[in-house]
Amino acid sequence: MHTLQALASVARIRQGWVLESADNDFAWPSGAAWPARFSRLRCGGASRAETVFNGLHALHAMGVRDQDWVLVHDAARCLVSAEMVNALIDRCLVDSVGGLLAVPVADTLKSEAHGRVASTLDRSEKWLAQTPQMFPLGALIKAMQPHQSAGFAGITDEASAMEIAGFSPLLVPGSAHNFKVTFAADFALAEALLQGRQALLAKPQG
């Protein structure tokens, strides 16, 4: 719901869909708690890529045009902000390919073998991919289509499919706050950051 509220605050997003599995029994909030312009689609697949691919085809069937821009976002990135999304849209709207939010790698990178360091990797020109990722609907479907028969192996995000198809997506600077809540410690960090945001919003101005 934090993710939905953040995306719903971006006025330029015409419509949004939550892609979920057919047997999802989560009790979604209703009424005023559910953001306008967002709907649910029960088209989830066996993987993230399959779910996205199914969702893209569903949008196409609804009348979304090939040239229309679509943004794909991981719901687990609940700290995304309207500012980040608008920065991505601004950069992509004037580009023919599209792009993604990402952050440059700041830490030293190590490769591993049997629990020990095998080597230190060059971190220059390395970026950590984030979402949203923004591409024209038709181009993204066409890029993902050849990988369907292989279960979308190697397609870890939309940008990777576009890269294999011969495109070079834009890298738009994101934020370290836009991390994917994955491990147990991530939940505590996300909660602290969300509480900090709410405190700032509640603070009197002037």
Sign of CA dihedral 155, 47, 188, 28: positive
Architecture, CATH, for domain 2-202 = Alpha-Beta Complex (3.90)
pLDDT digits (tens, 9 = 90+) for 32-49: 889 989 999 999 999 999
* Euclidean distance between CA atoms 177 and 139, whole angstroms: 29
- The pTM assigned to this predicted structure is 0.91
- What is the predicted pLDDT for the residue at 134? 98
What is the sign of the dihedral through the CA atoms of 142, 143, 147 and 151?
A: negative
Which tokens hold the place of 81? 């902000």
199 pLDDT tier (thresholds 50, 70, 90): confident
Query: Which alpha helices (DSSP H) does the chain contain, by range?
Result: 2-8, 48-62, 82-93, 137-144, 158-164, 184-202
Confidence of residue 56 (pLDDT cuts 50, 70, 90): very high
Is the peptide bond preceding residue 132 cis, with omega within 30 degrees of 0?
Answer: yes
> Can you give 114-125 as a three-state secondary structure string?
CCEEEEEECCCC
122 contact partners, CB below 8 Å, separation of at least 6: 109
135-162 pLDDT, tens digit per residue, is 999 999 999 999 999 999 999 999 999 9
The CA R_g of the chain, rounded to the nearest whole Å, is 18
Give pLDDT, residue 32: 82
Question: 41: burial class by Cβ within 10 Å (0-12, 13-18, 19+)?
Answer: middle
- Using the predicted structure, report yes or no on whether residue 206 has a pLDDT greater than 70: no
- At 74-132, the pLDDT tens digits run 999 999 999 999 999 999 999 999 999 999 999 999 999 999 999 999 999 999 999 99
| pLDDT at 9 (0 to 100) | 94
Q: Report the relative pairing of strands 16-20 and 38-42 from DSSP bridges.
A: parallel
